[in-house]
Amino acid sequence: MNEVLRQEKKFLIPLPDAQRLAAKLGAIMIPDSHNGLWGYRIRSLYYDTLNDDDFFDKVDGMELRKKIRLRCYDPEGATAVLEMKQKEGSFQKKRSLTLSREDAKRLIAGDYEPLLKMPEPFARECYGLMHRMCYRPKAVVEYRRRAFIAKENRIRITLDSEIVATESSADIFSKDLMQYPVLDPFHVVLEVKYNGFLLSYIKQAVSLADRSEFSVSKYCLARSAGLRYIQ
């Protein structure tokens, strides 16, 4: 199991600003090894309760909230990652667990039994929570990410674009998902993640995003159409 505790801030910025920021960050931070020229794809299946409690906790701005997702970086890959993110005041705690493709497919089908054979306590915690609260697959969200890293204070800056989603299929390994856009292509979600405080030279670099924070999650954007909730 991997665990990260850090602060996270989100901003919505125009595409030209994102392109300029990416060039600036590439000169002062370490580009993620998966970036390539245009970034890398992320596809996540989000789970929620029968009453969509996690969705409405986020919409209502609850101080303590969580989300559970199954994530892959390559539909043809051999593994997926089960993650739980929990909001605790100004901090986000993220715990994750790597699953085989076969076990991930069982979770996609709503069968959480593979978690019981894993030795990590986090796996059993997820099993108990997902059974007790009747978690079910709800939506798949996919986007392109460029990430930049500074080892100090575990700083990670990400730029997410081309955000699309579907509620018609939960199969994150499918090559034929029917997806719809959830954010116009001329804007990018900037996420600033750090532990403790943000170093001054990085804070200066992202100062172009010094505006109102973007509080809506990608999961909520995806679900809003199906639930007819206007953000």
225: its two tokens: 């159409």
Distance, CA of 79 to CA of 87 (rounded, Å): 26
pTM of structure: 0.93
Beta-carbon contacts of 179 under 8 Å, excluding residues fewer than 6 positions away, are: 140, 142, 164, 165, 166
pLDDT score, position 214: 73
Tokens of 39: 């970034």
Q: Mean pLDDT per segment of 10 residues, for the chain of length 231 residues? A: 89 92 94 92 97 93 93 96 91 95 98 97 97 97 96 91 95 94 92 90 81 79 68 43
pLDDT at res. 231: 43
CATH number among 3.80.10.10, 3.20.100.30, 1.10.3720.10, 3.20.20.140, domain 2-227: 3.20.100.30
The pLDDT of residue 1 is 86
Determine the pLDDT at residue 229: 42
Residues 79-129: pLDDT tens digits? 999 999 999 877 899 999 999 999 999 999 999 999 999 999 999 999 999
Task: Map out the domains of the chain as residue ranges.
Answer: 2-227
- d(Cα 194, Cα 201) in Å, to the nearest integer? 14
pLDDT of residue 230: 41
- 138 closest CA partner among 199, 219, 217, 74: 219
d(CA 85, CA 193): 13
